[in-house]
Every structure is written in structure tokens, then in C-alpha cells.
Structure 1
Amino acid sequence: MTAVRWVLGAVGVAAGLWGAFLLLPLVDVELAVWFLAGPVVHDALLAPLFGGVGLAVARWAPAAWRTPVVVGGVLSGVLLLVAVPLLWRPHAGPVNPGLHDRDYASGLLVAVAAVWLGVSAACWWAGRRRRASGPGTRRAGRPGC
């Protein structure tokens, strides 16, 4: 079985190298910068930033609010990632008539506002349930709620 794994690994590495060789004529400086800057920006800026935000939420948010706030943050990030190509559109070239005739920035703001409205409703509901159940009682299997 080990020999089969080594052969499959060697075939995979060879296929990857062949693909890189075929890609070399298409690579220009902008593409190389884009491929290199993405991981650098992620590792140097975004990962520490969001890690710090996660630690702050875990430390200072009430227990009943942690899950809704984290879900709201993740949904906001996904919405932003989906919207980036549409917000970046002025730099992409000519517009296809009828396809990009919306105000995507306003749409993103409305969607994020709806997410955080849902987060605030979930936090309100969790606080209401906690007050109704009493200060010393907790429901089994549902920590923090």
C-alpha cells in the first residue's frame, strides 16, 4: 500500500509542476503580486485582527450573546467577501449593460444591517429567556442560554 501512495503522490506532484510550467507564460507582475499579497495581507493583518475581535467577544460579551455575535460576524464577513468583486467593479473593465446596474454598496449595507438586527433580536431573546428562568437556574445542555 505504501508504494501505491508514493506513486500517486509522485503523479500528483508531477501534475502540479506541469500545471505551473503551463501557467508561467500567463503570469505577469500584477498576477504575481496578487497571489503573493493575498496570503501576506491575510496572515499579517486579517488573522490577528479577527483573532483579537474573537477574544474580545469571548471575554467581554455576556454568555448569552456570544453565539449570536459570532454568527453575525461570520455572516457579515461572508457578505463582504461576496460583495467585493461587485464593489471593485469599476476597476474590472467595461460593464455589461443591464447586469451591473444596481447599487451594490447600499445592498451590502442593508444586508449587514439585517444581519445585525437579527443578532440584536437573538441577544434580546436570550436575555429575556435568562431573566424568565431565574438567576440561579440553567437549562441542561444549553450553556449560556
Structure 2
Amino acid sequence: MRVLLALAGLVMLGYGGVLAWEFGSSRTINAVEGLAWFAGGPIVHDGLVAPVVGIVGLGIARVVARPWRTPVAVGVVLSAVLTLLAVPLLWRPFYVATNPGLHDRDYGTGLAIALAVVWVGVVVSGLAQRRWSRLALGRDQSSS
């Protein structure tokens, strides 16, 4: 089964390479855009995104109390992903192809509501974690 999955993956990788080659060789601007996409993405990720995420993670581990670490880390990740997904439509709302009913909304308000839901979940989860850790600590002390 692993061999079949590996072969299927290699076939898809090859097909993706063929499509990328056709795209890049069709026009010079496509080659430049393709290079920016395939090279720029990893460079930006490894040079900017990964170090920022690492520093934020270390900050969360040092500043936030233990029961709150996981909920806050999840909240930060979800907030970053939601914001990243919303940036194109916040920045240039009608730049993408229109789809009736999809683009006729206020993206800033939608993002704010989604982030509020995430952080309410973080607070609820953090309070539950804190309560659970206090109960577990109380049991440990009473059993000694």
C-alpha cells in the first residue's frame, strides 16, 4: 500500500512539474511570476514567518501560565490563519473573480467576528484548563 501511495504521489508530482513547466514557458511574465511563487514563498516562510512564529511561541511559553499556554497558542495560530486568508479580500475586495452572494459582504466585520469567536473559545478553554489543573492539584495534595 505504501508503494502504491508513493507511486501515486510521484505521478502527481511529475504532473505538477509538467504543468509548472507549461505555465512558465508560455510567456516571460508567467516565468517570472512562477519563479516568484516557487522561490519567494519558501524564502519568505523560512526568513520571516518561521522565525516570527518561533519567537511568538517562546514568548507564549515564557509569559503565559501553564494552563493557558495551549489555548493561547491555538488562538494565535487560528487568528493568524484567519487573518492571512482575509488579507486579499480586505486589501482589494473586488480583485478576485466575483461570485454572486460571496463578495457582497463586509470582510472586516466578518474577520472581527471570527476572531472574537476564536478568542472566546480561548478564554473558555483556558478557564476550563485552569479549573482542571486546580482540581488535579487538589487531588494530588489530598492523596499524599
Amino acid at match of 1:76: S
- In angstroms, what is the RMSD of aligned CA positions? 3.4
Higher RCO, Cα 8 Å, sep 6+: 1
Q: 1:83 aligns with which of 58, 83, 86?
A: 86
Q: Could you list the structure 1 runs, at least 4 aligned residues long, displaced by more than 6 angstroms after superposition.
A: none
| 1:100 CA drift (Å) | 0.8
Name the structure with the higher helix share. Answer: 2
CA-to-aligned-CA distance 1:23-77 (integer Å, 9 cap, x gap): 2214153443344322221111110000111122223322211111122122222
Question: Matches of 2:58 and 2:139 in 1, distance apart?
Answer: 27
Q: 1:66 aligns with which of 42, 66, 69?
A: 69
Residue ranges of structure 2 left out of the alignment (5+ in a row): none
Q: 1:52 aligns with which of 52, 55, 61?
A: 55
CA contact (8 A) 2:93 2:103 kept: no
Residue ranges of structure 1 left out of the alignment (5+ in a row): 139-145
Give 3-state SS (helix, strand or coil) of 1:44's partner. Answer: helix
Question: Matches of 2:97 and 2:22 in 1, distance apart?
Answer: 29
Question: Matches of 2:42 and 2:18 in 1, distance apart?
Answer: 23
How many residue pairs end up in the alignment? 132
TM-score by length of 1: 0.68
Amino acid at match of 2:70: T
Residues 93, 119 of structure 1: alpha-carbon distance in 2 compared, 3 angstrom cutoff: closer
